[in-house]
Structure 1
């Protein structure tokens, strides 16, 4: 039995689906199973990493787990996993930890990795960079007037399709040889924000425009959805990558035997959200 936490997230949903397609028994926890919307065949239990009393039932009979990094809430889960003999933990972490713990995002993920290491359980860490799916945040303004408004349009990244992260997670759960590995995951190409808008426009068959915001205006916009300390980290990351070319990591192609999905492929899949 494989347990998926964060099963309703951008990556977790695909992890669950791929495990089912591989013929595995899958259990997921959700704060509200009735609205989880997970595929038939998944045993969905009410559970929350911040509610330790829900974890014994979730972990009963589990031998492997996909773990979403709920900050400061992994201890009880990992203790329970050790007690029932879970033999493999695949943790969704972040590329941010590769560069030290100089910001909140990196520190949170590093602390999650440390918790798993300290548990003594066999582990694999997945450290993706930017997610392509985050660009769905542009959908409203693209639908409204064909404009994307953000700071540092020339900042570069190599965003990854969430389905590729999920496929690597499933390989790490099912195949031997991944224990003790920390995989940095990127997409197959470096793109600036302006270039991604141009690719989206080509997929949609319409002209889109990137409108440069000041750093302060971008932070104010981000703070509608996230704490100020996180918006500052993200704006600083954008600023630090202006005029660069993002490094492409080989892990996705090596593990999956194919290149990662392109940004244009991702955009085609989500085109309806932008129209």
Structure 2
């Protein structure tokens, strides 16, 4: 089995790459900018830009399985090339947002849903098996607070009481590894969460303890927060996030035990994630 890992410069992709390599599974590291990635010795790198379909054929040549980030821009072309290359299994990094009733109209969920549907159609035709990983909140989202914490010791949030289910990237990589190597998981959809529901304010307190410093939480209006991110976050995405945070502050976040059921051990806590990344929050 040769596995193509897309997005290998990302935290999930790079962790999965290390897991596969460490188990002696032939793996190919794919990135839109492979020159900026240093893989383990002996691991080939290849350019696979999910926004550039002309890169798909060479990247998929000789590949049996793929770990694929959800990018709907050229998913049909990817399916065509994967079919031609003889790929037998694709593990898609999707999102639990696809389970929302308004997923098709939600700018955050819609690309993941479109990718899932395109792969499901190919799977129904017998092209290859598809396993969907549907995580909720990534613990690494907290890293967006790090620059402000280092500079000011404070985090300004529109909804400090918004609740998330932060999932450690190592747990996601462990589940992806299991999905790629355990035939019993083929064709399933796995909804993944961290082991606990925490408000943003609670997450900040956990980070403060891990970093050994004070971090205060300020409240800003949704309009002020949206203006602060407009340089890099499209307005429709900002609006979708604000709506989600507002709703999550008023309703419980359902948790799953999928990580434990798949890996045989409890999911890592946010405190563990904070300890692993504490240096990012120290000024």
TM-score of Structure 1 vs Structure 2, range by shorter chain: over 0.9
TM-superposed CA distance for 1:40, in Å, is 2.3
Structure 2 length-normalised TM: 0.93
TM-superposed CA distance for 1:116, in Å, is 0.6
The CA distance in 2 between the partners of 1:245 and 1:80, in whole Å, is 42
Q: Could you report, residue by residue, the CA deviation over 1:47-84 in whole angstroms, capped at 9, with x for unpaired residues?
A: 32333332222111111110111222222221111122
The CA distance in 2 between the partners of 1:180 and 1:203, in whole Å, is 39
Name the SS of the counterpart of 2:20 in structure 1. helix
Q: Could you report, residue by residue, the CA deviation over 1:100-121 in whole angstroms, capped at 9, with x for unpaired residues?
A: 3241111111101011111222
Structure 1 length-normalised TM: 0.96
Structure 1 equivalent of residue 79 of structure 2: 78
Give 5+ residue unaligned stretches, structure 2.
Answer: none
Does structure 1 retain, via aligned residues, the 8 Å contact 2:131–2:187? yes
* Residue 46 of structure 2 is aligned to residue 45 of structure 1: yes
TM-superposed CA distance for 1:194, in Å, is 0.6
Does structure 2 retain, via aligned residues, the 8 Å contact 1:94–1:129? yes
Aligned residues: 275
Give 5+ residue unaligned stretches, structure 1.
Answer: none
Q: Could you report, residue by residue, the CA deviation over 1:209-248 in whole angstroms, capped at 9, with x for unpaired residues?
A: 1101111111112322211110110011110011433211
Does structure 1 retain, via aligned residues, the 8 Å contact 2:7–2:32? no
Does structure 2 retain, via aligned residues, the 8 Å contact 1:20–1:41? no
Does structure 1 retain, via aligned residues, the 8 Å contact 2:175–2:259? yes
Structure 2 equivalent of residue 184 of structure 1: 191
Alpha-carbon RMSD across the aligned residues, in angstroms, is 1.3
The CA distance in 2 between the partners of 1:33 and 1:14, in whole Å, is 16
Does structure 2 retain, via aligned residues, the 8 Å contact 1:64–1:89? yes
* Residue 251 of structure 2 is aligned to residue 258 of structure 1: no
Structure 1 equivalent of residue 17 of structure 2: 16
Q: Structure 1 residues 77-86 or 91-100, which shifts more?
A: 77-86
